[in-house]
Amino acid sequence: MTIFSPSLSHIESLVKPGIPVCAYIHDLDALASHAIELVSHLPPRSEFFYAIKANSDPAVLSALAPIVAGFEVASAGEIRKVRQAVGPNARIIMGGPARTETDFLAAIDHGVERVHIESLHLLHMADIVAKRTGKRLPVLLRINMAGPVPGATITMGGQPTQFGIDEAHVDEALKLVKECDYLRFDGFHLHTISNNLDAEAHSVFCEAALRRAQDWAARNGLVPKVVNLGGGWGVDYSDLNRRFDVRLFCERLAGSIQAEGPLLQFECGRIVVAYCAVYATEIIDLKTTHGETFALLRGGSHHFRLPSAWQHRHPHKILARTNWPWPWQRPRIGAQLVTVTGELCTPKDVLLRKEQVQGLAVGDIICFLAAGAYGWDISHHDFLSNAHPERIFLNEHASNATERLSA
């Protein structure tokens, strides 16, 4: 797919005039095309769910609803978002390590297809809650598999983490789930790796995970209907042209799928939405203190937390503008290092650190590419109560641009 990278004139045609530029711009048509391409490579007997934690905007959910099998959520609030955006018939699966009675009730009330259980304590709780409602709750057991695990940006299993049931206790968990009258064991959830960039290594891991899941079930006299292999299909922010090879991954994994074996499920977020949005924000000041030059943005990490959260150099482009409406001389710098910060009253509000630029002026725009995943949704929007960015969604069916939330 082509990375969404709007021109200066395109951005200026979309945003509100007369105020500093600060906007998320999403290309929903590109998003739909990209999602269709992803699911076209799926191996037989598999399903693709969108993990809405990456970006839960209703416009994004609506665009993906006709393409994906359903939605993976991690809270009662996310269940409600899907129901409100997509409707009562959308398929939903629910994961997450810290569940409460309220969560299980919400899952049952809203017709969630399955809940992924991450501890023995939660097996007991889910069974009691389901019994009170008189409904049987389908569950997958999330297992924290023993390592080693192939490298990825984030590892959620194979080592001490808060996720899943330790593999050493898998037999105990399976014995318990068989004793729970109001739970229906459907299989396993094995989301261990996030943002894996090596498709072949990821297929090897998933093949091993599938074999282990079938062995656990067989020795306990159970037949898994579903093995959820999670997401983990990565995005390389250091080189956006380097892509996780979905076709290769699916081809490699296809050989491990048995006609009578469990259905495979994937729950991906980042790889679906990252490439189809930008965060564009205007430089509103330039200053040098103690020998270091700073460009201050009308925005920052309270809008786009990903660069500071991951401590990475996020891909971007600088869009130089010629207009200058003020009577004093326009602040500008030549070729040098500059640290790009936001408008928050904290030195932690840094989006780019000591970035080499060829030139920069107040009023120029920095456009952060591949900003569609874990940007707005993980950011602390209301710290200092600064204005929110405009959020603009492009699609051919709504006069090219639909604005859902503005500054």
Q: Which positions are annotated as active-site residues?
A: 345
Rounded CA separation 96/80 (Å)? 16
